Chains A and B, each alone.
Chain A
Amino acid sequence: MKQTVFVGGLAALLFAASLARAADPLDAITAAAQADKSFSGFSAARGETLFRTKGKDWSCSTCHTADPRNPGRHTVTGKAIQPMAPVSNPKRLTDPAKVEKWFKRNCGDVFDRECTAREKGDVITWLRSLAR
Protein backbone atom coordinates (compact mmCIF):
# COMPACT_ATOMS: atom_id res chain seq x y z
CA MET A 1 0.00 0.00 0.00
CA LYS A 2 2.70 2.45 1.02
CA GLN A 3 4.62 1.64 -2.11
CA THR A 4 1.55 2.27 -4.31
CA VAL A 5 1.04 5.66 -2.69
CA PHE A 6 4.71 6.47 -3.21
CA VAL A 7 4.70 5.44 -6.88
CA GLY A 8 1.43 7.29 -7.44
CA GLY A 9 2.81 10.39 -5.75
CA LEU A 10 5.99 10.23 -7.80
CA ALA A 11 4.00 9.86 -11.03
CA ALA A 12 1.86 12.86 -10.09
CA LEU A 13 4.95 14.91 -9.32
CA LEU A 14 6.59 13.99 -12.61
CA PHE A 15 3.38 14.78 -14.48
CA ALA A 16 3.11 18.19 -12.80
CA ALA A 17 6.78 18.79 -13.54
CA SER A 18 6.31 17.95 -17.21
CA LEU A 19 3.42 20.42 -17.39
CA ALA A 20 5.58 23.10 -15.79
CA ARG A 21 8.35 22.36 -18.24
CA ALA A 22 6.03 22.89 -21.17
CA ALA A 23 5.00 26.35 -19.91
CA ASP A 24 5.63 29.21 -22.29
CA PRO A 25 7.98 31.73 -20.64
CA LEU A 26 5.71 34.46 -21.94
CA ASP A 27 2.75 33.24 -19.83
CA ALA A 28 4.11 34.36 -16.45
CA ILE A 29 5.49 37.55 -18.00
CA THR A 30 2.08 38.35 -19.49
CA ALA A 31 0.39 37.75 -16.13
CA ALA A 32 2.89 40.09 -14.45
CA ALA A 33 2.43 42.77 -17.14
CA GLN A 34 -1.36 42.61 -16.75
CA ALA A 35 -0.98 43.69 -13.13
CA ASP A 36 -0.59 47.17 -14.64
CA LYS A 37 -4.12 48.26 -15.62
CA SER A 38 -2.83 50.34 -18.55
CA PHE A 39 -1.26 47.27 -20.20
CA SER A 40 -2.69 46.71 -23.67
CA GLY A 41 -0.47 44.03 -25.16
CA PHE A 42 3.18 43.59 -26.11
CA SER A 43 4.81 45.41 -28.99
CA ALA A 44 7.47 43.94 -31.26
CA ALA A 45 8.44 47.47 -32.33
CA ARG A 46 9.10 48.56 -28.72
CA GLY A 47 11.02 45.33 -28.17
CA GLU A 48 13.26 46.01 -31.14
CA THR A 49 13.93 49.56 -29.93
CA LEU A 50 14.81 48.37 -26.43
CA PHE A 51 17.09 45.65 -27.81
CA ARG A 52 19.14 48.30 -29.60
CA THR A 53 19.05 50.93 -26.84
CA LYS A 54 22.43 51.61 -25.28
CA GLY A 55 22.48 51.68 -21.49
CA LYS A 56 25.64 52.29 -19.46
CA ASP A 57 28.12 50.87 -21.94
CA TRP A 58 26.27 48.22 -23.88
CA SER A 59 23.01 47.40 -25.58
CA CYS A 60 21.56 43.91 -25.99
CA SER A 61 22.86 44.07 -29.55
CA THR A 62 26.45 44.61 -28.35
CA CYS A 63 26.74 40.86 -27.79
CA HIS A 64 23.70 39.50 -29.64
CA THR A 65 24.29 41.72 -32.74
CA ALA A 66 21.71 44.10 -34.24
CA ASP A 67 20.20 41.13 -36.08
CA PRO A 68 19.63 38.40 -33.46
CA ARG A 69 19.09 35.83 -36.20
CA ASN A 70 22.88 35.82 -36.37
CA PRO A 71 25.32 34.36 -33.85
CA GLY A 72 26.74 36.87 -31.41
CA ARG A 73 29.96 37.22 -29.46
CA HIS A 74 30.44 37.99 -25.77
CA THR A 75 32.01 41.43 -25.75
CA VAL A 76 34.22 40.72 -22.74
CA THR A 77 35.27 37.10 -23.15
CA GLY A 78 34.96 36.68 -26.92
CA LYS A 79 32.92 33.49 -26.56
CA ALA A 80 30.47 32.71 -29.37
CA ILE A 81 26.78 33.15 -28.50
CA GLN A 82 24.15 31.15 -30.38
CA PRO A 83 21.49 33.24 -32.16
CA MET A 84 18.72 34.66 -29.94
CA ALA A 85 15.93 34.50 -32.52
CA PRO A 86 13.94 31.23 -32.34
CA VAL A 87 13.81 31.14 -36.15
CA SER A 88 17.57 30.48 -36.11
CA ASN A 89 17.72 28.65 -32.79
CA PRO A 90 14.48 26.90 -31.78
CA LYS A 91 15.69 26.19 -28.22
CA ARG A 92 15.60 29.91 -27.41
CA LEU A 93 12.82 31.30 -25.17
CA THR A 94 11.47 27.87 -24.22
CA ASP A 95 12.54 27.58 -20.55
CA PRO A 96 10.93 30.11 -18.15
CA ALA A 97 13.71 29.81 -15.56
CA LYS A 98 16.40 30.44 -18.17
CA VAL A 99 14.52 33.40 -19.60
CA GLU A 100 14.18 35.01 -16.16
CA LYS A 101 17.79 34.29 -15.24
CA TRP A 102 19.16 35.95 -18.34
CA PHE A 103 16.82 38.96 -18.32
CA LYS A 104 17.81 39.63 -14.70
CA ARG A 105 21.52 39.44 -15.45
CA ASN A 106 21.53 41.17 -18.81
CA CYS A 107 19.14 44.02 -17.99
CA GLY A 108 21.37 44.63 -14.96
CA ASP A 109 24.49 44.68 -17.13
CA VAL A 110 22.99 46.82 -19.89
CA PHE A 111 20.55 49.15 -18.10
CA ASP A 112 21.73 48.86 -14.49
CA ARG A 113 18.23 47.82 -13.41
CA GLU A 114 15.80 44.97 -13.86
CA CYS A 115 13.56 45.07 -16.92
CA THR A 116 9.81 45.37 -16.42
CA ALA A 117 7.44 42.57 -17.42
CA ARG A 118 6.25 44.69 -20.33
CA GLU A 119 9.80 45.22 -21.57
CA LYS A 120 10.59 41.51 -21.36
CA GLY A 121 7.37 40.65 -23.20
CA ASP A 122 8.11 43.25 -25.87
CA VAL A 123 11.57 41.81 -26.53
CA ILE A 124 10.32 38.20 -26.60
CA THR A 125 7.52 39.24 -28.98
CA TRP A 126 10.01 40.92 -31.30
CA LEU A 127 12.46 38.01 -31.23
CA ARG A 128 9.64 35.58 -32.02
CA SER A 129 8.40 37.76 -34.88
CA LEU A 130 11.67 37.50 -36.76
CA ALA A 131 11.44 35.25 -39.79
CA ARG A 132 14.00 34.15 -42.34
Chain B
Amino acid sequence: MNTSKAHAGLRSISTALLYLAVISTSSVVWADGATKPAPTNPVWQEECGSCHIAYPPRFLPAESWQQLMGSLEDHFGTDASIDAGTAATIETFLTRNAKRSKTDTMATDAPLRITEGRWFRREHDEIAAAKWKSAAIGSAANCGACHREADKGSFRERDIKVP
Protein backbone atom coordinates (compact mmCIF):
# COMPACT_ATOMS: atom_id res chain seq x y z
CA MET B 1 0.00 0.00 0.00
CA ASN B 2 1.51 3.31 -0.96
CA THR B 3 1.48 6.38 1.28
CA SER B 4 -1.23 8.33 -0.51
CA LYS B 5 -3.56 5.33 -0.58
CA ALA B 6 -2.89 4.66 3.08
CA HIS B 7 -3.59 8.27 3.81
CA ALA B 8 -6.85 8.24 1.86
CA GLY B 9 -7.76 5.08 3.77
CA LEU B 10 -7.05 6.76 7.05
CA ARG B 11 -9.10 9.73 6.06
CA SER B 12 -12.13 7.68 5.13
CA ILE B 13 -11.81 5.81 8.42
CA SER B 14 -11.56 9.03 10.38
CA THR B 15 -14.48 10.53 8.45
CA ALA B 16 -16.55 7.46 9.35
CA LEU B 17 -15.51 7.72 12.99
CA LEU B 18 -16.30 11.40 13.02
CA TYR B 19 -19.76 10.63 11.68
CA LEU B 20 -20.28 8.23 14.56
CA ALA B 21 -19.03 10.81 16.99
CA VAL B 22 -21.57 13.46 16.02
CA ILE B 23 -23.25 14.12 19.29
CA SER B 24 -24.50 17.58 20.04
CA THR B 25 -23.09 19.08 23.18
CA SER B 26 -24.10 22.73 23.11
CA SER B 27 -27.56 24.16 22.93
CA VAL B 28 -29.15 27.17 21.30
CA VAL B 29 -31.52 29.55 22.97
CA TRP B 30 -33.83 30.98 20.34
CA ALA B 31 -35.42 34.39 20.49
CA ASP B 32 -38.59 32.92 22.00
CA GLY B 33 -36.61 31.44 24.88
CA ALA B 34 -36.96 27.84 23.75
CA THR B 35 -33.82 25.73 24.06
CA LYS B 36 -32.85 23.03 21.66
CA PRO B 37 -29.58 21.32 20.86
CA ALA B 38 -27.35 23.10 18.35
CA PRO B 39 -26.50 20.65 15.59
CA THR B 40 -22.79 20.15 15.25
CA ASN B 41 -20.38 18.15 13.13
CA PRO B 42 -16.62 17.82 13.61
CA VAL B 43 -15.80 18.00 9.87
CA TRP B 44 -17.84 21.18 9.50
CA GLN B 45 -16.28 22.61 12.67
CA GLU B 46 -12.74 21.90 11.47
CA GLU B 47 -13.10 22.96 7.85
CA CYS B 48 -15.50 25.91 8.16
CA GLY B 49 -14.02 27.21 11.40
CA SER B 50 -10.50 28.02 10.21
CA CYS B 51 -10.83 31.50 8.69
CA HIS B 52 -14.06 32.46 10.45
CA ILE B 53 -16.19 30.77 13.07
CA ALA B 54 -18.11 27.82 11.69
CA TYR B 55 -21.33 29.69 10.92
CA PRO B 56 -24.34 27.74 12.16
CA PRO B 57 -26.35 26.03 9.40
CA ARG B 58 -29.54 27.73 10.63
CA PHE B 59 -28.19 31.10 9.45
CA LEU B 60 -28.90 30.34 5.77
CA PRO B 61 -31.43 28.32 3.80
CA ALA B 62 -30.36 25.12 2.06
CA GLU B 63 -30.26 26.82 -1.36
CA SER B 64 -27.63 29.26 -0.10
CA TRP B 65 -25.48 26.52 1.39
CA GLN B 66 -25.63 24.52 -1.84
CA GLN B 67 -24.44 27.50 -3.84
CA LEU B 68 -21.65 28.25 -1.36
CA MET B 69 -20.44 24.67 -1.28
CA GLY B 70 -20.40 24.62 -5.07
CA SER B 71 -18.10 27.63 -5.38
CA LEU B 72 -15.44 27.22 -2.68
CA GLU B 73 -12.58 27.95 -5.11
CA ASP B 74 -13.78 31.56 -5.07
CA HIS B 75 -15.26 31.96 -1.61
CA PHE B 76 -15.85 35.72 -1.30
CA GLY B 77 -12.53 36.37 -3.01
CA THR B 78 -10.44 33.67 -1.34
CA ASP B 79 -9.73 30.05 -2.22
CA ALA B 80 -11.45 27.78 0.31
CA SER B 81 -11.37 24.64 -1.85
CA ILE B 82 -11.55 21.21 -0.21
CA ASP B 83 -11.66 17.67 -1.52
CA ALA B 84 -14.95 16.37 -2.88
CA GLY B 85 -15.60 13.86 -0.08
CA THR B 86 -15.18 16.43 2.66
CA ALA B 87 -17.33 18.91 0.74
CA ALA B 88 -20.14 16.37 0.41
CA THR B 89 -20.04 15.60 4.16
CA ILE B 90 -20.27 19.28 5.01
CA GLU B 91 -22.99 20.07 2.47
CA THR B 92 -25.18 17.27 3.83
CA PHE B 93 -24.79 18.59 7.38
CA LEU B 94 -25.49 22.19 6.33
CA THR B 95 -28.55 21.51 4.20
CA ARG B 96 -30.11 19.11 6.72
CA ASN B 97 -29.89 21.74 9.45
CA ALA B 98 -30.45 24.80 7.28
CA LYS B 99 -32.83 27.64 7.99
CA ARG B 100 -36.41 26.79 7.20
CA SER B 101 -38.81 29.64 6.76
CA LYS B 102 -42.25 29.99 5.29
CA THR B 103 -41.86 33.70 4.67
CA ASP B 104 -38.26 33.93 3.49
CA THR B 105 -38.18 31.89 0.32
CA MET B 106 -35.33 31.43 -2.11
CA ALA B 107 -36.63 34.30 -4.20
CA THR B 108 -36.83 36.72 -1.31
CA ASP B 109 -34.05 35.83 1.10
CA ALA B 110 -31.39 33.30 0.17
CA PRO B 111 -28.26 35.44 0.19
CA LEU B 112 -24.77 34.01 -0.06
CA ARG B 113 -23.58 36.38 2.63
CA ILE B 114 -25.29 35.80 5.96
CA THR B 115 -24.98 39.53 6.65
CA GLU B 116 -27.06 40.42 3.60
CA GLY B 117 -30.10 38.47 4.72
CA ARG B 118 -33.13 40.33 5.97
CA TRP B 119 -33.06 38.43 9.27
CA PHE B 120 -29.45 39.43 9.96
CA ARG B 121 -30.03 43.06 9.06
CA ARG B 122 -33.13 43.25 11.24
CA GLU B 123 -31.28 41.77 14.22
CA HIS B 124 -28.38 44.22 13.83
CA ASP B 125 -30.14 47.42 12.79
CA GLU B 126 -28.97 49.25 15.95
CA ILE B 127 -25.28 48.80 15.04
CA ALA B 128 -23.95 51.88 13.21
CA ALA B 129 -21.83 51.43 10.06
CA ALA B 130 -18.80 52.97 11.80
CA LYS B 131 -19.10 50.45 14.64
CA TRP B 132 -18.69 47.52 12.25
CA LYS B 133 -15.45 49.07 10.98
CA SER B 134 -13.99 49.73 14.44
CA ALA B 135 -10.70 48.04 15.31
CA ALA B 136 -12.33 45.73 17.85
CA ILE B 137 -14.85 44.36 15.34
CA GLY B 138 -13.36 45.00 11.89
CA SER B 139 -15.87 42.96 9.97
CA ALA B 140 -19.40 41.68 10.34
CA ALA B 141 -17.86 38.25 9.76
CA ASN B 142 -16.26 38.53 13.19
CA CYS B 143 -19.29 37.35 15.22
CA GLY B 144 -17.17 36.64 18.28
CA ALA B 145 -16.27 40.31 18.72
CA CYS B 146 -19.70 40.86 20.29
CA HIS B 147 -21.25 37.40 20.62
CA ARG B 148 -18.79 36.06 23.16
CA GLU B 149 -20.00 32.46 22.87
CA ALA B 150 -20.31 32.46 19.07
CA ASP B 151 -17.54 29.92 18.62
CA LYS B 152 -19.62 27.53 20.72
CA GLY B 153 -22.70 28.12 18.57
CA SER B 154 -24.51 30.32 21.06
CA PHE B 155 -25.81 33.78 20.11
CA ARG B 156 -28.11 34.46 23.06
CA GLU B 157 -28.65 38.02 24.28
CA ARG B 158 -26.95 37.57 27.64
CA ASP B 159 -23.62 36.74 25.97
CA ILE B 160 -23.58 39.88 23.82
CA LYS B 161 -21.06 42.56 24.74
CA VAL B 162 -20.48 45.17 22.04
CA PRO B 163 -16.88 46.44 22.39
Q: Which residues of A contact B (CB under 8 A)?
A: 13-14, 16-21, 23, 28, 74, 76-79, 96-97, 101, 104-106, 108-109
Contact = CB atoms under 8 A, between A and B. Distances in A.
A2 B52 CA distance: 48
Interface of B: 1, 3, 6-7, 9-11, 13, 51-53, 76-82, 137-139, 141-142, 144-145
A78 B141 contact: yes
A50 to B, nearest CB: 18
Task: Tell me which of A13, A79, A96 has the highest count of chain B C-beta atoms within 10 A of its own C-beta.
Answer: A79
From DSSP, what is the main secondary structure of chain B's interface residues? loop
B79 A105 contact: yes
A9 to B, nearest CB: 11
A79 B142 contact: yes
From DSSP, what is the main secondary structure of chain A's interface residues? helix
5 contacts: A76-B76, A77-B139, A78-B138, A104-B79, A106-B79
Contacts of B6: 13, 16-17, 19-20
Contacts of B145: 78
B90 to A, nearest CB: 14
Task: Tell me which of A14, A16, A78, A104 has the highest count of chain B C-beta atoms within 10 A of its own C-beta.
Answer: A78
Given A77-B52, A78-B137, 8 more contacts: A13-B1, A16-B9, A17-B9, A23-B7, A76-B51, A77-B139, A77-B142, A78-B145
Given A13-B9, A16-B6, A28-B3, A79 B82 contact: no
Contacts of B79: 104-106, 108-109
